Amino acid sequence: MQMFNYLLSYLINNVFILMIGMLGVYVLTGLTGMFSMGQAAFMAVGGYTAAMLAKFLHWPLIATLPASVLMGALFGLLIGLPAVRLRRDYVAIVSLGFGEALVAFLNNSASLTGGALGLTDIPKYTNEYIIIGALVLIIAFIWNFKKSRFGRQCIAIKSDELAAASMGINVARVKLLVFVLAGAISALGGCLYVHTTTYLDSSAFGWDQSSMWIIMVFFGGINSLTGSIFAGIILGLIPEILRFSNELRIVIYCLLVLFIVNFRPEGLFGTVEWDMRTIRRGIGKLSGRIKAVRARKDVK
C-alpha cells in the first residue's frame, strides 16, 4: 500500500507534469511532422517565467500560469518564424540549437536566474488536483484540436505538404500556429513543474529531456494522442518502479524503445485513437466474442 501511494504520488507530481511538456512535442512532431528537438527549452521558458514572477514579484498561481503560457507562445512564435521558412529537416536543427542556446543562457546568467545552481524556494502553489486538472484540460484541448479542421490540416501537412497546399491549406501559417501552440503547452508544463518541485535547475530542460519526449510520442504511435498518453505513463513510471540507478533505467528504457522500433515501428497504438466510436466498436467486438464462446459452451 505504501508502494502504491508512493507511486501514485510520483505519477501525479512527476510524470503527469512532464507529460504536459511532452504533449507539446505531440502537437508539433506527432501531428504536424516537424521534428522538434529542443521542446524542453519551452518548458524552461515557462518554468523560469513562473519562478521569477512568483519569487520576486510574489505573483500567485492564477497570474504566473497565464504569464508562462504567454511567454511560451511568444517564444514559439519567435522560433517558428524562421523555422517554417526553412526546409523541414532544418526545423530539427533550429529547435535543437534553440534548446542548447537557451540552456546555456540560463546556466550563465547567474544574477537573474540563479545560474547553474538554479533558483530555490519557489512558492509551492500546486497540489495533486491542480495537476490532474491541468493535464485533463490540456488533453481535452488537444483532442478537440485534433478533431477540428486544424488537426486535419496538421495531419495533411505531415503526410504530404505539396498536396496540402494544393487543397488551399496555408502551410506556413498552420505550422506557425502549431509552433505557438506547442510552445504554450510545454511552457504550461514548466510552470507547474516549478511550482511543484519548488526549485529548478536547467538540467531538466536539456536535450536529454527533449529526446525523452520524442521517444514517448513515437512509442505511443505518432498520430495517436491516446498512444502518447499511455506511453507517457508507462515510460514515465517504469523507471521508477524498477528503482535502479538513473543510468540503468535509461538503458532499459532505450532497449524497450529499440525493441518497438524493430518489431512494431508504428508505435503501440499506431493511428488508433480511443474515441467514443472506437471504444463502442471495441466493446461490441468483445461482447460478440463472449457471446460466441458462450454459444459454443451451450452446444457442448
Contact flag: residue 150 with other proteins (CB under 8 A): yes
Residue 9 or 271: the one with the smaller Cβ distance to other proteins is 271
Binding residues for other proteins restricted to 54-83, rule: CB under 8 A: 82
Residues 6+ apart with CB under 8 A from 72: 42, 45, 46, 183, 184, 185, 186, 187, 188, 190
Closest CA to 176 of 66, 45, 86: 86
Binding part of the chain for other proteins, among 4-12, 47-55, 122-130, 169-177 by CB under 8 A, reads 169-177
43's CB contacts (< 8 A; 6+ apart) are: 21, 24, 186, 187, 189, 190, 193, 204, 205, 209
Tell me how far, at minimum, the Cβ of 286 lies from other proteins, in Å: 19
Interaction between residue 167 and other proteins (CB under 8 A): yes
CB of 253 to other proteins, least distance (A): 8
CB of residue 99 vs other proteins: minimum separation in angstroms? Answer: 9
Which stretch in 5-13, 125-133, 258-266, 287-295 sits in contact with other proteins by CB under 8 A? 258-266
Residue in 57, 86, 136, 293 binding other proteins, rule: CB under 8 A: 86
Question: 109 to 148, contacts with other proteins by CB under 8 A?
Answer: 141-142, 144-145, 147-148
Residues of span 191-250 touching other proteins by CB under 8 A: 207-208, 211, 214-215, 218, 222-223, 245, 247-248, 250
Q: Which among 101, 40, 97 is positioned nearest to 72, based on CA atoms?
A: 40
